[in-house]
Amino acid sequence: MRTLQVIYSEGKQRLQKAGNESPAFDTICLFEHVFHMNRQDLMMHGNTKQATPEQEAEFFSVIEQRANKCPLQYILGEWPFLDFQLKMGEGVLIAREDTTVLVETAAKLIQGKQPEILDLCAGTGAVGLGLASLLSTANVTCVEKYAPALQYLKENIVLCKKQGIEHVTALQGDILSESFASAFQSVDGIVSNPPYIETAVLPTLQEEVQKEPKTALDGGEDGLLFYRAIADIWIPKIKPGGVIAVEIGEGQETAVACLFENVGVEQIQFKKDSGNIIRVVAGIKQ
């Protein structure tokens, strides 16, 4: 049997050879996942403790998955968002730090003692659950069309309830459907992180991103398919003074703002992410 330090070092070398952009970070995450020991534990005990053959095999199995571009979040099965944990895996979009800008922007704008909020294209539920964590009296309905993502959404609602986040429900539905939308009236806020990548661009994305479901990425020919539906079908459901806030792709802010202004949204504002890219368009319904 080999020591934990030797095994860790070999795992990192394999990721380096595979061209991984953050081999040290990814290796320690996978090491913790398999051995339930953090970086400090590794420093203290790595040269004295040994791995069992079963542990070593499991560790190099997940290293191999990561070397083959399987997203780290899928391998680990859970990932933090804001101050809570989300389950995620194959079939659902990975919740990214950029999306916290959407959640925080919407939370500051939405008013009311018990606001009714819709999270469209909810995926893992990161946005809706994030809002519920910041607006404890809000009632949030998370709408998701696809069964694999819907399953993660439901699991995350249960998981987050144990973390103190309540008043969130999951609903299966197609936000492009006018008949589905007709069941909703008079909400205080709508938030969405919809698919927004142009169809022709999808094959050029990083191999790792292409492991995520295309249904969560493909925004149609010009990337604006879902924003048109939000403007035409869903913004009319917002009460006067209510809020619309969406995540967007790089360079889409002007087009999305125009769509929203044409249906009576005022006080349009743009918010940037940590990379100084405009990531959120938000406004108030007349």
Q: What are phi and psi of 26, to 5 degrees?
A: -65, -40
Residue 121 · residue 142 · CB < 8 Å: no
Structural domain ending residue among the three candidates 68, 100, 117 = 68
| Residues 53 and 156 occupy one common structural domain | no
| Residues 149 and 122 occupy one common structural domain | yes
Domain that includes residue 273, residue range: 76-285
Q: pLDDT tens string for the chain (286 positions)?
A: 789 999 999 999 999 999 999 999 999 999 999 999 999 989 998 899 999 999 999 999 999 999 999 999 999 999 999 999 999 999 999 999 999 999 999 999 998 889 999 999 999 999 999 999 999 999 999 999 999 999 999 999 999 999 999 999 999 999 999 999 999 989 999 999 999 999 999 999 999 999 999 999 999 999 999 999 999 999 999 999 999 999 999 999 999 999 999 999 999 999 999 999 999 999 999 9
| pTM: predicted TM-score of the whole model, two decimal places | 0.94
| Residues 150 and 33 occupy one common structural domain | no
Residue 174 · residue 145 · CB < 8 Å: yes
Instruction: Tell which residue, 222, 235, 154, has the closest CA to residue 189.
Output: 235
- Our count of domains for the chain comes to 2
Q: What is the CATH number of the domain that holds 281?
A: 3.40.50.150
Structural domain ending residue among the three candidates 68, 84, 117 = 68
Residue 141 pairs in a beta bridge with 118, 169
Give the per-residue pLDDT at 46: 83
| Residues 59 and 96 occupy one common structural domain | no
